[in-house]
Structure 1
Amino acid sequence: MNKPTNGRLISLDALRGFVMFWIMSGEHIIHALAKAAPIPVFIWMSSQLHHAEWNGITFYDMIFPVFLFVAGVSMPYSFEKKMSLAGVKTPQELPSKEKRKIYFSMLKRTCILLVLGLVVNGLLRFDGVDHTRFASVLGRIGLAWFFAGIIYLNFDLKKQLIWFFGILIGYYAAMKWIPVPDFGAGVLTKEGSLEGYIDRLLLPGRLHSTVYDPEGIFSTLPAISTALLGVFTGTFLKSKCHLSIKVKILLMALAAVILIIAGLIWDINFPINKHLWTSSFVCFVGGFSILFFVCFYLIIDLLDFHKWAFPLILIGSNSILIYMAAEGLVDFKHTADYVFGGLINFLPLIWQPVFAALSVTVIQLLLLYFLYKRKWFLKI
């Protein structure tokens, strides 16, 4: 297991595709299965494909942070060519002129993601500012990735770690100690949290949940630490040190376990909560993000067992496009009904929703395969 880690990691596309699959149609397949065959495993899986109502964690709550973590892992690899051309070993050594180009490229990418997030939220319906939701999943990805990139480009690893812990501890202190009018300090409810108050105060337009927004302004800060965890993982994996790849994998797994334990301990005082993106949530899900990545990296990149993951690679290589399409820009269900509806009607009534959901996935994968074969990717 001494395969080099330079170059593109296929496992990143596969892992990105794995988490995106559940959003684009996978959740509907499992929910339909749980109704058609209500055995314990399907019922449990279905329960995991809903967000926790408030405190607590489900698998569905992990999808967004894992995606953001993967974006962080890819960062050291994406800057590798620029460092090689400039003849430097670290991003901090890049010439100022080269950094300005990178800053502009990063800012452009973030702005595009912010606009695409607005499009997903219904910007093109032209309902007016008061009815437009400005916060978005894509917007948070863009902002968290941008600021993590700024930190990565300008600070060495020691200072990056200071930023990581400083953001998490600072967010914890603010949420626990800064009083909110009419509620006081440390009230971690939808209405009483500092995050919700800042959203109501500063976010224009419509909030996702009336009194707060799960992709709001203040809770984007700890999301930067989620992206930084990915940066640390990518940096460690591609580092040319004396450690073997086997030892690196063991150390990453150990770091994952430590983060999960830290998140559980912190949960006692600062509950694991995806809606608020709490510091304990960052640690707990960060640990699982590393474990997911280690498993995919080991199986796909090191053992070269990747044919099974081809559908996931199709999804992961065009993840932003399929996310936007599945979120309402394309009516895949209508197309699937048109193509497969007649055949599905011959099935037992109880199983028809399962195969209807599967047919949507088939249509989505056919579209992605068509784009993949023609090398048409939505690159931002």
Structure 2
Amino acid sequence: MEKQKRLLSVDALRGFDMLLISGGGAFLVRLKGTTGLQWVDEVAEQLTHPAWNGFTFYDFIFPLFLFTAGIALSYSIQSGLSRGMNKKELYRKAFRRMLILIVLGILDKNIPLNIFDPGQIRYGTVLGRIGIATFITTLLYLNLSSAQRLYWVGGILMAYCAALFLIPVPGHGAGDLSFEGNLVGWFDRTFMPGRLLQKTYDENALLTQLPAHCLTVLGAFAGDILQMKKSEYKKLQYLGITGIAGIGLGLLWSTFFPVNKHLWTSSFILLTAGMAFLFLAFFYWTIDVLGYRKWAFFFKVIGMNSLVIYLGTRFIDFDYSSKLLFGGWYMHIADKWQPACNALGSLILVWLLLYFLYRKKIFIKV
């Protein structure tokens, strides 16, 4: 089996995603109300989550990361198979990675971690979700064809929708999609140990893992498209058609099953998956097909060490460092601009740290 070369577009897309987590989003949000430009304020509003139903661009960030994890997984599994690894070895590798990410996620969301009070530990985490999703996707990838995996996704999303509409919740009945009465919240309160993020439920707990892992399965499908022995424009066609279909189906489904990131509704999964396919198509087209690669370097540096920057922004106070290093410069401008300037300085420090690791060829992965 021929080993596929690493695509710059995939690293750049992951870096674009992580940029908004590592400081780019904060910079834009802090610009709101300072420029007098309506479009700037509208962009800033897209970088906050809606209270319940609805969709903003910021809701796309985590789904896109799950999707890119699936792309990388497709390449990783194909590479392992080409080196003679058997299924058992690949299962073990994915299982070990899942356990590591679950542990890192618990540490991330509970620092300082009080191990003597497990009831106050939050177990549903972003990293844990990624670990579980990639493990499930590995099992499916090694045992089902591409078409069968798509049927799996369709079945999971329909079953999830049916469960939320048909299974009655004590005190609320069936089909209640409100904050207080939804099935996800009741399931988390009943079966999820520890602390729940939103008190009555946790968007990264148990039940929402079912639809969420579908994004990684679809990401692996996208990875398969990129590795097909087809022309570049045929691959773009497949990515584009799949993306448009996902968005269309998601919007159609949303007419009775609202787009809701908190519940990871089926319409939300299809909408964000469709967007992810189109974003991948754009990055692949501009970087790997047309050859415009220089602009992608900024994002590549971030994407090559996504785990480092995700945990780094949690344990390192870049905002404080930015104030110490750049405060003497921006203190002379109007007060309303200073928070945005400090966020920009923080982003610069984050990128320089990642650039240092990149130059030293230090890439932390699990």
With structure 1 as the length reference, what TM-score do the two structures score?
0.92
Instruction: Give the conservation status (yes or no) of the 8 Å contact 1:274–1:281.
Output: yes
State the alpha-carbon separation in 2 of the partners of residues 377 and 126 from structure 1.
30
Q: Helix, strand or coil for the counterpart of 2:261?
A: coil
1:261 partnered with 2:248: yes
TM-fit CA distance, 1:5? 9.8
- The yes-or-no answer on 1:125 pairing with 2:138 is no
Q: Structure 2: which amino acid aligns with 1:39? A: L
**Amino acid in structure 1 at the alignment position of 2:193:** P
Deviant stretches of 4+, over 3 Å: none
Asked if residue 169 in structure 1 is aligned to residue 158 in structure 2, the reply is yes
SS at match of 1:35: coil
Equivalent-residue separation in structure 2 for 1:38 and 1:64 (angstroms)? 30
CA distance in 2, matches of 1:208, 1:294: 35
User: Once the two structures are aligned, what percentage of the paired residues are identical?
Assistant: 40
1:331 partnered with 2:317: yes
Structure 1: runs of 5 or more not aligned: 87-93
- Residue 123 of structure 1 and its aligned partner are, at CA, apart by 4.5
CA 1:250–1:41 in structure 2 vs 1: closer, same or farther (change >3 Å)?
Answer: same
> How many residues are aligned here?
364
Q: 1:39 is matched with which residue?
A: 37
Question: Does 173-182 or 247-256 show the bigger shift?
Answer: 247-256
Deviation string 1:273-296 (CA, Å, 9 cap, x unpaired) is 111111111111111000111111
Residues 253-275 of structure 1: per-residue CA shift (max 9 Å, x gap): 12211111100110011111111
Listed as ranges, the matches of 1:354-373 within 5 Å are 354-373=340-359
- Alpha-carbon distance between aligned partners in 2 of 1:38 and 1:53, rounded to the nearest angstrom: 26
Output the aligned Cα RMSD: 1.6
Q: Which residue of 1 aligns with 2:175?
A: 186
> Counterparts in 2 of 1:208-223, with a 5 A limit?
208-223=197-212
Question: Residue 286 of structure 2 corresponds to which residue in structure 1?
Answer: 299
TM-score, normalised relative to structure 2: 0.96
Q: Would you say the 8 A contact 2:30–2:339 is kept in 1?
A: yes
Q: Secondary structure at the match of 2:236?
A: helix
Is residue 232 of structure 2 the alignment partner of residue 245 of structure 1?
Answer: yes
Aligned partner letter, 2:340: V
Query: Could you tell me which of 196, 217, 234 is aligned with 2:223?
Result: 234
Q: Does the aligned pair in 1 maintain the 2:160–2:211 contact within 8 Å?
A: yes
Q: Is the 8 A contact 1:259 1:287 kept in 2?
A: yes
Q: Report if aligned partners of 2:150, 2:218 keep a CA contact under 8 Å in 1.
A: no
| Partner of residue 70, structure 2 | 72
Q: Does structure 2 retain, via aligned residues, the 8 Å contact 1:332–1:364?
A: yes
Q: Superposed, which structure 2 residues align to 1:91-170 within 5 Å?
A: 98-126=86-114, 128-170=117-159
**Which one-letter code corresponds to 1:278 in the other structure?**
T
Cα distance in 2, alignment partners of residues 321 and 256 from structure 1: 30
Please give the per-residue CA displacement for 1:226-252, whole angstroms capped at 9, x wherever unaligned. 111111111122122xx4221221232
5+ residue gaps in structure 2? none
